Amino acid sequence: MSSLNAQELFEILVRDHAEMLTLYLRSLIRDPGTVDDLFQETMLVAWRRLDDFDRNRSFGPWLRGIAGKLVLAHRRKYATSKAITCEEEVLQHLEGRMQQVQKQAGDTLPEKLAGLEYCLQALPEKYGKVVKLRYREELSIGSLAERLELTVETAKKRLQRGRARLLDCLKRRMATSVS
Amino acid sequence: MSDSHDPADASKSPTPAERASRILEEGLPEDLRDLQLEEQQEILDHCWMDAVLETVLHPDSGAKETRIQRVFAAIEEEKRSQTGAAPLRPVSSDLQPTLPERSVRKWRFPQTFLTATAAIAALLLLSWGLSLLTPGQGPNQPIGLPTRSVQAAINQTLAQVQKPIDRQYRLTFEKKERNVPLPVDELLLYTRGGHQLAFEMELPVVGTVWFGGTPERTWLVPPIGRVLVSNDPFLLKRWLEQRGSDAWEDAEHSMPFLHLETALTRLKERYHLEIVAENVKPQDLGLEPSEESKEAKNTFEELATTEPRWLHIRGIKEDEADRFWPETIDLFTEETTGVAQRMVFHWKPEGRELVLSYLGEGPMPEDWYLHQGHHGAFRRVMEFHQPAE
């Protein structure tokens, strides 16, 4: 049986971890273009340093470790960048969340996050509507406030509270439902 | 629980959820390092939740695949550069109306990126302006002005602009005082009439970007992410700035070039114009058809086949206060038709030079000057408008 060469192996790893890396970067950066740039930069750094990777360990945390450093470096360089600046220890907390997701049942990221659908259904209607309009239909705050005949501030509050409830719900479900 | 906003809360420190909301809804960059670790973690949790919602409620599998393809294209690019093979894509490959490939991205971040964007910024602003200066009538359709005055030649250019003909120009850009090749030194510019254009850029780090539209409505198709449509004339500038480049800081000064009447008026009124030579043969200028233009000839048979004679006009900047404008502009127009065949722009202090070379004309698809002509159906489009003054 012929063995995979380094690039073939790397391609498998990239495909397996692309969604998780994107989720990680989106948590730290608001600008989609910068997310894409850092996605590529992370993968390229990983490719160049593949020899340094301990193959007895999981690839995902290693990859996101690279990404975290690149995000912080990016934020240092570009003061106006829509990236969050935080202590490196806080990135460990985010990595903890990612590992919780990784442990969920399912092959793809949406499958691993299937619990979110339950949480959405359990959300009070006034929050659920705002969340769905914001994320499913991608309406701006102003547009969804207009659609629901709310003030912008009220719409923001509902979105904030809806998201907070979903976060609590998802954390609980992930803690109790591990593959 | 009330959802209304209590003004009395304004004096209190925002909660982590509120801080997260400011980041997420208002796009504010946040430095959390002054906060307690627990607060930082909580804020990040909210941002993570936002990312989860985006991922699950609006999945975009096409974008994922594109990201992966770009990674491997960049790896291939890196391998090629290590083996010394030139990765530059020939400009002629863009002459056929195909969808842009999402592929190679140069990987020299960030100095090269800034250099590139600085170069491209000037180039793009001028390219639009120059495209508006170009005639819109075929080479076999002489206007036949009876006299050969400078003003008449420029007016002839102005008169040609409104013709709805698709034309292609090659733009080359050099920075002579530094013997360093620019990351982007050649572009193919498509124009229709004087007011529509489209061009593709291969930006280091960013990747392939299509930009185009009219002076009133511009669009930008990045390699990944939302397609942007706006009435904002600074769309490209703002987009580049979001990626950390300040290369467009002075773009406002160049923006008048985006409008034909302003550009021509400025050229006529603020440059000293003179005729350098008449009956110039292109060969006299040492111009040999490049590989690209040979290919263009095959593609665009309308390209002049008779021996052309050009009129060479030079404009010299009269007012140094126009500091962003080229010191000199050399315009070569085809004497019979008035088609601008070649324009050379010099910024003496910087040693920069931009050359616009006419390749030919040929019909492009109807949607070529629309963003829809340059991306797949799956792409999301974000339209935003600046309020009218």
Domains in chain A (CATH in brackets) are 1-102 (1.10.1740.10), 107-179 (1.10.10.10)
Q: Is the peptide bond before B110 cis (omega within 30 degrees of 0)?
A: yes
Whether B31 sits inside 8 A of A85 (CB atoms) is yes
Whether B224 sits inside 8 A of A44 (CB atoms) is no
Task: Give residue A18's pLDDT.
Answer: 93
Does pLDDT of B254 surpass 60? no
Per-residue CA distances from B309 to B286, B332, B336, B361 (Å): 14, 9, 8, 19
Task: Give residue A129's pLDDT.
Answer: 93
CA distance A6 to chain B (A): 12
Ranges under pLDDT 50 in chain A = 1-2, 179
Q: What is the pLDDT of residues B228-252, one digit of tens each?
A: 998 877 777 777 667 655 444 443 3
Whether A163 sits inside 8 A of B50 (CB atoms) is yes
B-chain residue closest to A115, CA distance: B56
Task: Enumerate the residues of chain B whose CB falls inside 8 A of the CB of residue A49.
Answer: none
Bigger pLDDT: B115 or B26? B26
Give the ranges where A78-135 is alpha helix by DSSP (H): 88-102, 109-112, 115-122, 125-131
Q: In the predicted model, what is the mean pLDDT of residues B332-336?
A: 75
Q: What is the pLDDT of residues B290-321, one digit of tens each?
A: 343 444 443 333 333 446 678 788 888 887 76
Give the separation between CA B352 and CA B119, rounded to whole angstroms. 9
Task: Give residue B51's pLDDT.
Answer: 93
Q: In the predicted model, what is the mean pLDDT of residues B363-384?
A: 83
Q: In the predicted model, what is the mean pLDDT of residues B267-289?
A: 76
Per-residue CA distances from A62 to A68, A112, A134 (Å): 10, 20, 32
> Which letter, b or e, does each residue of B156-172 get, where b requires 16 or more Cβ atoms within 10 Å of its Cβ?
bbbbbbebebbbbbbbb
Bigger pLDDT: A77 or B44? B44
With cut-offs at 50, 70 and 90, classify the pLDDT of residue B334: confident
Q: In the predicted model, what is the mean pLDDT of residues B49-56?
A: 91
Q: In the predicted model, what is the mean pLDDT of residues B128-157?
A: 48
Interface with B, mutate which of A77, A160, A171, A173 (most B CBs under 10 A): A160
Whether B244 sits inside 8 A of A18 (CB atoms) is no
Task: Give residue B130's pLDDT.
Answer: 39
With cut-offs at 50, 70 and 90, classify the pLDDT of residue B355: confident
Burial class (CB in 10 A: 0-12, 13-18, 19+), B178: exposed
Burial class (CB in 10 A: 0-12, 13-18, 19+), B48: buried
**CA terminus-to-terminus distance, chain A:** 32
Q: In the predicted model, what is the mean pLDDT of residues B181-192?
A: 63
Whether A156 sits inside 8 A of B223 (CB atoms) is no
With cut-offs at 50, 70 and 90, classify the pLDDT of residue B122: very low
Give the separation between CA A49 and CA B45, rounded to whole angstroms. 30
Task: Give residue B138's pLDDT.
Answer: 33
